[in-house]
Amino acid sequence: MVDSRIVWGFAVFLLLLVGGVYVSQSGLLYQIDEPNPDGYERVTVTAYDDNGTELATVEVRVADTQPKRYLGLSNTSELSTGAGMLFVHESEGSHGYVMRDMAFPLDIVFVDADERITTIHHAGVPEGSYERTYRGRGKWVLEVPRGWANETGVEEGDRIAVPPAARNVSG
């Protein structure tokens, strides 16, 4: 005859095993965030007017290292509506941006350390080897499809709310 302690021990083990599998698969204890395959963190930035009215949101890739800022959107074939890239600088300053190897036009929006838009450029695709430099003052630079600012009503002096995950340079 089998000892009842062995049967009870096996039943408890089986119950714990099935329960553990259920809890881990359900995500009740934790959720594993898979890293983005392209290495860019993604956040949502929101544009507000002076009255605090939300004008638009943009899902952006965060370019918070020198190599990511240099590459920018150069290897991007298109940018969908509501998508963009947020360039993060260590501190507010004067920055120049070019449309290196770009296949589509952009709005380039400079945002100061107080999250206020200082400059908006409507940049076209460069012709030939000429690369125009678009200058402005900011801690962040938001690149979005050309026409975004006009379509959303975003203007200089409006605010771009930058989430904590995109507030500092990472490397």
User: What range does the domain containing 17 cover?
Assistant: 1-32
Residue 111: inside a domain:
yes
Task: Judge if 127 and 96 occupy the same domain.
Answer: yes
Q: What is the pLDDT of residue 92?
A: 96
Check residue 59 and report its DSSP letter. E
Task: Judge if 57 and 103 occupy the same domain.
Answer: yes
Task: Judge if 16 and 94 occupy the same domain.
Answer: no
Task: Judge if 98 and 160 occupy the same domain.
Answer: yes
Q: What is the pLDDT of residue 70?
A: 92
Domain count, the chain: 2
Task: Judge if 3 and 79 occupy the same domain.
Answer: no
Task: Judge if 108 and 133 occupy the same domain.
Answer: yes
Check residue 116 and report its DSSP letter. B
Q: What is the pLDDT of residue 54?
A: 97
The tens-digit pLDDT sequence of the chain (171 residues) is 667 777 676 666 677 766 665 555 554 444 444 456 568 899 999 999 999 999 999 999 999 999 999 999 988 888 998 999 999 999 999 999 998 888 899 999 999 999 999 999 999 988 877 678 999 999 999 999 999 999 999 999 999 999 998 988 876
C-alpha 112/C-alpha 159 separation (Å) is: 9
Task: Judge if 12 and 88 occupy the same domain.
Answer: no
Q: What is the pLDDT of residue 112?
A: 97
Q: Quote the radius of gyration of the chain (alpha carbons, Å).
A: 24
Residue 171: inside a domain:
no
Q: Closest Cα partner for 133 from 144, 119, 145, 147? A: 119
Task: Judge if 16 and 52 occupy the same domain.
Answer: no
The tokens describing 119, both together, are: 């400059």
Burial class (CB in 10 A: 0-12, 13-18, 19+), 64: buried
Residue 50: inside a domain:
yes
Task: Judge if 85 and 147 occupy the same domain.
Answer: yes
C-alpha 142/C-alpha 60 separation (Å) is: 8
CATH number at residue 126: 2.60.120.1140
Residue 110: inside a domain:
yes
Task: Judge if 109 and 28 occupy the same domain.
Answer: no
Q: Closest Cα partner for 64 from 139, 128, 12? A: 139
Task: Judge if 69 and 114 occupy the same domain.
Answer: yes
Q: What is the pLDDT of residue 139?
A: 97
Instruction: Write down the H helix ranges in the chain.
Output: 4-26, 66-71, 148-152
Tell me the sheet residues that pair with 137. 94
Task: Judge if 89 and 117 occupy the same domain.
Answer: yes
Residue 154: inside a domain:
yes
